[in-house]
Amino acid sequence: MWNAVMDQMLRRLIVTGGLGVTWPDGSHRSYGPGDGPHANVTLKDDGIIRELALRPVLALGEGYMDGRIEVPPQELYDFVALLVRNQAQGRMPAWFNIAHALRGWLRGVAQRNNPLRSARNVQHHYDISDDLYRLFLDEDMQYSCAYFADPKMSLEDAQRAKKAHIARKLHIERGMRVLDIGCGWGGMALTLARDFGARVTGVTLSENQLATAQKRAEAAGLADRVEFRLLDYRKIGERFDRIVSVGMLEHVGYPHLREYFSKVNDLLEDDGISLIHTIGHVSPPGATSSWIDKYIFPGGYIPNLSEVSAAVERSGLWCTDVEILRGHYGPTLNHWRQRFEAALPKVREMYDERFVRMWRFYLVACEATFEETRQGVFHLQLAHKQYAVPTTRDYLYQDRHGHMLHAAQ
């Protein structure tokens, strides 16, 4: 029965490209017109067919992790990208679309991230091991979208360009107090202190990130200008000249978007500027992937532009600029994925094969999502006053002497 159900699902789903499926009994069938990308997959047992038919998103990731779905590592991206591209055509079964919509409607209940739950969610992902992240991130451990001003940039150069782009939007002057919400391993905070003379307070809920960031500040001789705290942003009481947050809004959860931007409003000085860098959809609101929520980012939610805009509108802040970065996170993830694969001998010394397959699937699925769907990165520049920043974007593309910047710089 389930073989027939799955066969009909695939015949309906694959409307572009081609998918070759080897079934548990050894038989092989092809799906799709074959006019685009092509991939092959082997289903190892009848049980995974039933699970794929009932809960395709969760079962796909779990089946690959457990080895019940076999795709050669070098072909996994093509396989996932093919599925993501075809799913975007809206050809999933009606019951799946209804269930997905229901999960979206219930996101306000499922993502109530109080401080205790937020800390647990962050620790689930970030406190596994700094050594793992060092294997595939750039030397500054930037775990967010890079900025490829030139597509030929190295990952290190693109991450430096990202930090410089954000710093220009913050319009920082020497001696200003800056708050970094979700400071990660401290790279942005250290850059703003070292290169711009800021005094930075960084907050995180990850004990691993806190310890590493503090060690880096000491080693760089910046401990007198950078302070890192293990603290929920909602508990901060001071006000700051500048506020930056890179890759943290995705952890806030849909019910807390208004609370987040209201807190930014409260913490920002009257003449202050804030820059929020977050993954976002330019498509209608939806639900977080059930696999991502269970295994990678529990409690996470990627908002769409209308949800973010509504929260900002109610905060009392001016939205002085919105930039949508397209075509930057896919290449960033590709760099991470290639580095992860190159470091597999070291990864396998640290983790079992199921973890390796989970992390590979995570990087592949995220890259495919950025390349095949309407998902990008939002830069929200916020202030209390409309003239807190220049009235054109010219200043973003000039150096401190007023000379125009070029990609090579």
Q: Which residues are catalytic?
A: 366
DSSP E strands in 163-252: the ranges are 177-181, 199-204, 226-230, 240-246
Residues in Cβ contact with 402 at an 8 Å cutoff, skipping those fewer than 6 apart: none
* One-letter amino acid for residue 316 of the chain: G
What does the alpha-carbon distance between residue 264 and residue 146 come to, in Å, rounded to a whole number?
24
28 φ/ψ angles, rounded to the nearest 5 degrees? -130, 135
Q: Specify whether the backbone of 246 is left (phi greater than 0), alpha (psi in -120 to 50) or beta.
A: beta
Extract the runs of DSSP E, i.e. beta strands, from 68-206. Answer: 69-70, 177-181, 199-204
The two three-digit tokens of residue 301, written as one number: 């939610």
CA pseudo-torsion sign 115, 120, 125, 131: positive
E strand or H helix that includes residue 54 = helix 46-54
Give the number of residues written for the chain: 409
Using DSSP, state whether 93 is helix, strand or coil.
coil
Which amino acid belongs to residue 219?
A: A
Residue 198, token pair as written in the block:
């800021």
Minimal CA–CA distance to 244: which of 312, 308, 169? Answer: 169
Dist. CA 213–CA 204, nearest whole Å: 10
